[in-house]
Amino acid sequence: MAERGVRGGGSGGDSLDKSITLPPDEIFRNLENAKRFAIDIGGSLTKLAYYSTVQHKVAKVRSFDHPGKDTEQDHEPPYEISVQEEITARLHFIKFENSYMEACLDFIRDHLVNTETKVIQATGGGAYKFKDLIEEKLRLKVDKEDVMTCLIKGCNFVLKNIPHEAFMYQKDSDPEFRFQTNHPNIFPYLLVNIGSGVSIVKVETEDRFEWIGGSSIGGGTFWGLGALLTKTKKFDELLQLASKGRHANVDMLVQDVYGGAHQTLGLSGNLIASSFGKSATADREFSKEDMAKSLLHMISNDIGQLACLYAKLHGLDRVYFGGFFIRGHPVTMRTITYSINFFSKGEVQALFLRHEGYLGAIGAFLKGAEQDNPNQYSWGENYAGSSGLMSTSPELYPTQRARSGTFDLLEMDRLERPLVNLPLLLDPSSYVPDTVDLTDDALARQYWLTCFEEALDGVVKRAVASQPESTDAAERAEKFRQKYWSKLQTLRHQPFAYGTLTVRSLLDTREHCLNEFNFPDPYSKVKQKENGLALKCFQGVTRSLDSLEWEERQLALVKGLLAGNVFDWGAKAVSDVLESDPQFGFEEAKKKLQERPWLVDSYSKWLQRLKGPPHKCALIFADNSGVDVILGVFPFVRELLFRGTEVILACNSGPALNDVTYSESLIVAERIAAMDPIIHSALQEERLLLVQTGSSSPCLDLSRLDKGLAVLVRERSADLVVIEGMGRAIHTNYHALLCCESLKLAVVKNAWLAERLGGRLFSVIFKYEVPTK
Amino acid sequence: MSQKDQQKIKGIFPWFGLDIGGTLVKLVYFEPKDITAEEEKEEVESLKSIRKYLTSNVAYGSAGIRDVHLELKDLTLCGRKGNLHFIRFPTHDMPAFIQMGRDKNFSSLHTVFCATGGGAYKFEQDFLTIGDLQLRKLDELDCLIKGILYIDSVGFNGRSQCYYFENPADSEKCQKLPFDLKNLYPLLLVNIGSGVSILAVYSKDNYKRVTGTSLGGGTFFGLCCLLTGCTTFEEALEMASRGDSTKVDKLVRDIYGGDYERFGLPGWAVASSFGNMMSKEKREAVSKEDLARATLITITNNIGSIARMCALNENINQVVFVGNFLRVNTIAMRLLAYALDYWSKGQLKALFSEHEVSDLS
């Protein structure tokens, strides 16, 4: 099963001839729309970068031109949906072995349709060597860029734009990878690039960096000296040898000098006193493996020591390592990490980068694309089009490793708007959106992977059903199935392939894969129908709320918010009930709710708070379309407005599942305003503001939100954040700390998760938190 | 050694100091020249034979050597006048040395033998069971500091103990000049034995170990043995003196065609030690001498670089290099002198001692 859907799985196995054995159109994607190329040619690997525009189908919603008729017919939808083409920008990065260079250049030339592109930015040691070939094949002028400048530009770019880019590596811990959440301020840091030599660069700002030192003992020393000592020619083979060797046979250890006494002296006997100290003899033979291992230790320790000395001198504690010596090899990451820990006594962190190999290409590309201002945008890793980290266990998945080592891809989508931190995070640098780290929690990982596998059929059906007029929907849906299935299999074996594995990343990957095959919004029609039905009930619901006493009403409002979360409205049984009598369905849902006290229940505290002065401004993150947003959120918003609290209602920029999108929320608000004077005047007077989150995820990452939202939150001095729904309040942000009051509420609709949290299906989470001053 | 200890053994010869390192054993022997007739008469036969054996030979066994040129003449030590001899032999000959002690009946002379270095611990039991000798183990770093200070105070047979190089990069203009350690402290002491220890010394009794590296003399010699098949340190150095490391190393100019101005790197700087050896053709084109030279340059530059960073971090600008790696190793000393001066833009001074290592207990 592991082979199923693996990219290029059916096309000719592992023959390593000079032709491309994998379907090239799956590698050099969107070449026909490509413009602007950059290339980074290293000693053995080439990284190609290009920019393309991708045509996407998107579902747009639009109010009918004749809105607000009082005599609406029962089955008239509240708005119309049209599928339109939208053009988005994408960055493609492809890594391949230098031996494929000619074949790759030929392929690019044959498929490059457009292009006013005249130059190709080139960097890396091999740029010179291949200059003529590139100019001849592509008819582009090669423009050489400084290696280190490119490297640092690339490094800044990935650190800023790719969540979980950097990680610590700990060999014997589970998981081996510890990903860092994006630090709001990446500067200053130390970049230690281990190519044939070592460069140590202090990076202070986007454009300011300084070479502060280096060492000649680097990857070239390992390779060159290793080749002399072991007669092994290839770098990777040398590393293989090293991973099997025992350095103590070659190195003089402290215990060799001190005998057994090191223990009483408090010395670690295994420390190396003198590298190669035991080989100072003519009468012994040493194994290749042992010498390679000794050499690896010698070089890694030396680099680690120098890195620590430089870090100390410049007062830095974050050191990123890159260069071909590292290239994701567990054995080098391990020895470097060990060395850094040893010499800094844990004060300096050795960090590695998932896309380390692409830094030069990214940087060269950015240099060439300066007039497009790529740095003004936020970019997101497209999980559907990226290969992810290689497995660290070559023995386990040799074929996968060979393949990913042959062609490795990274795609990044330009996000329409820049993303920033929510200004209300208590400590942006320690904020982790996700509640459970599935790389860490094997049980949860197995559960969720299986859960997503089992749900896949349903998603495929939904996708096909969403495009009844399309002739190839079934075919595309099948491709989607294969792609997502293979991603899930990759993640089973390499949970860390795309950073920390979380429910959020599984959901996001699914959305990316759906988009990839032009299923931009499978739920659009469901949402449309539900919104229409729920709108019809709005007045009835508010009337009955208004008839309640104040205290009773507060509870009813909260229950209303929760009720929207009870059912998966996509399920057929539920939609039937809804269709016949939505208000009845809503009441039924309330009955399903767990009786108080809830699983997490700080309602009394909340009620107490409501008796006090009104909040200045509430920021509410909405969840589902239909009943949830219309009968749950809007009445709640209405009450807040009534109390004198301004409301910022934030909805997703793009579609995800049946979540309400920003454009849908605009229409819904408009329709409600037509029925309700409170909402109407609040919209008019800008006491109720609708904004987009910048996200298209069913979860919520408060460190990557639309800049406009952040600005508004600041302007209005928001002092209450309401997050609802499982995706946003449980899978993510359950532990998020804010510097203002917050309300996290959800109904646990998953029996396994409910049990984990100590409750049962439909347990209620009502978490009202006030920051401790 | 404390005053009391000195009193105790005063007059009881022989006076030995032993530093048992990972590769070499350094033996310091004080030969009393003011022996009275009475003493001479009382001197037991075994003691006399040791004195005669040590002072009349310059080589012992297969690999023991007395460095005659280092001998310090007419010293006064603990009230006695005499000569200080410096002898060395490989650590792997230690069992033979202990056996000799047993054969020559050392244990009948006096029961305490002063020793330092890791081997003082490693061989303690052997000394006791085979030679019936009790070792007085002394802290290695204490000994090192005391030794340096002592040797500097007594000078080198009327000359200065400490020296530096002027114009170290220029073979014709290069000059070894005496250096007067008037303002001795603070100093960074870099002891290059099999491995390297780096100490920051603030006063006679105030010092700390800053760091160390496993890339030391043992690495140079060990790698040379593997790469060239040489069998002695001297042979390795001799080969290195005839080799050309630029055939082995990749220089900045090999990559950038000249200086890498962006980073202020001169073209002659080594970008990647052994970097040219990634290529099969170049591997086939180098000699053993080239490899030995490259190994020497690699290890020496690295020590210089670590020492320089430590000096910067500790805010010290005098760096004293000692240790057996530097024995008859002018190439390394001049390189250290040059590298320290160049990369620190003249801020740091590399100093050397005529006696690269001293263990005076």
What does the pLDDT read at residue A20? Answer: 47
Respond yes or no: is residue B140 known to be catalytic: yes
State whether the Cα torsion A551-A556-A561-A562 is positive or negative. Answer: positive
> Which residue is it, tokens 């004293």?
B320
CA distance B156 to chain A (A): 31
Mean pLDDT for the stretch of residues A547-564: 94
Alpha-carbon torsion angle B66, B67, B68, B69, nearest 10 = 180
Q: Which residues of B touch A315 (CB under 8 A)?
A: none
pLDDT band of A576, cuts 50, 70, 90:
low
Strand runs (DSSP E) across A595-710, as ranges? 600-601, 617-621, 646-651, 688-692, 705-706
For residue A651, pLDDT over 90 is answered with: yes
Q: Which of A695, A750, A696, A702 is nearest to A722 (CA)?
A: A702
**pLDDT at residue number B80:** 85
For A117-136, write each residue's pLDDT tens digit.
Answer: 788 999 987 888 889 999 99
Q: Residue A15's pLDDT is what?
A: 34
Count CB neighbours of B277 within 10 A.
26
DSSP letter, residue B71? P
Q: Is B124 on the interface with A (CB under 8 A)?
A: yes
Residue pair A492/A450 in contact (Cβ under 8 Å)? The answer is: no
Residue ranges in chain B whose pLDDT is less than 70: 1-11, 110-111, 356-361
From A276, A282, A298, residue closest to B229, measured CB to CB = A282
Contacts of A306 in chain B (CB under 8 A): 305-306, 309
**Given a cut of 70, is residue A110 above it in pLDDT?**
yes
B117 touches chain A (CB under 8 A): yes
Q: Write down the catalytic residue from B45, B124, B140, B284.
A: B140
Residue-wise pLDDT tens digits, A274-296: 999 999 876 789 999 999 999 99
Name the minimum distance, in Å, from the CA of A208 to any CA of chain B: 13
Provide Rg for chain A, Cα atoms. 29
DSSP state of B197: E
Nearest neighbour of A280 by CB, restricted to B225, B275, B312: B225
Q: Using pLDDT thresholds of 50, 70 and 90, give the confidence band for residue A371.
A: confident
On whether any CB of chain A is under 8 Å from the CB of B155, the answer is no
pLDDT for the residue numbered B361: 43
Q: What local confidence, expressed as pLDDT, does residue A577 receive?
A: 58
Indicate the SS3 state at residue B163.
strand
Q: What is the pLDDT of residue A45?
A: 82
Region A505-510: mean pLDDT is: 93
Q: Range with the lowest mean pLDDT among A487-501, A715-729, B331-345?
A: A487-501
User: What pLDDT sits at residue A230?
Assistant: 97
Q: What is the ipTM, given to two decimal places?
A: 0.90
Which pLDDT value is given to residue B319?
96
B positions 274-303 inside 8 Å of A (CB): 274-278, 280, 283, 291, 298, 301-302
**What's the token pair of residue A132?**
């003529």
More confident residue, A116 or A415: A415
Q: What is the pLDDT of residues A6-23, one digit of tens each?
A: 333 333 333 333 444 555
- What tens digit of pLDDT does each residue of A387-402 get? 877 654 444 333 344 4
Query: Band of the pLDDT at A66, cuts 50, 70, 90?
Result: low
**Percent of chain B predicted with pLDDT > 70:** 94
Counting every residue, how long is chain A?
Answer: 773
Residue that is written with structure tokens 């602007």 in the block: A36
Q: Taking a C-beta distance cutoff of 8 angstroms, is the pair B44, B109 a contact?
A: yes
pTM for the whole structure = 0.86
Q: Do A252 and B195 touch (CB under 8 A)?
A: yes
Q: Give me the helix-helix angle, B288-314 and B217-228, nearest 10°.
A: 160
A202 or A581: which carries more pLDDT confidence? A202
Residue A512 pLDDT > 60 = yes
- pLDDT tens-digit series, residues A589-611: 777 788 899 999 999 999 999 99
Contact B118, B20 (CB under 8 A): yes
Would you state the pLDDT for residue A197? 92
Nearest-by-CA chain B residue for A306: B306
Mean per-residue pLDDT over chain A, rounded: 86
Selected residue with higher pLDDT from A229 and A74: A229
pLDDT of residue A74: 53
pLDDT of A529 reads 87
Q: What are phi and psi of B36, to 5 degrees?
A: -75, 160
pLDDT at B356: 60
pLDDT score of A341: 93
DSSP A613: P
- Over residues A604-628, the mean pLDDT reads 96
* DSSP code for B213: E
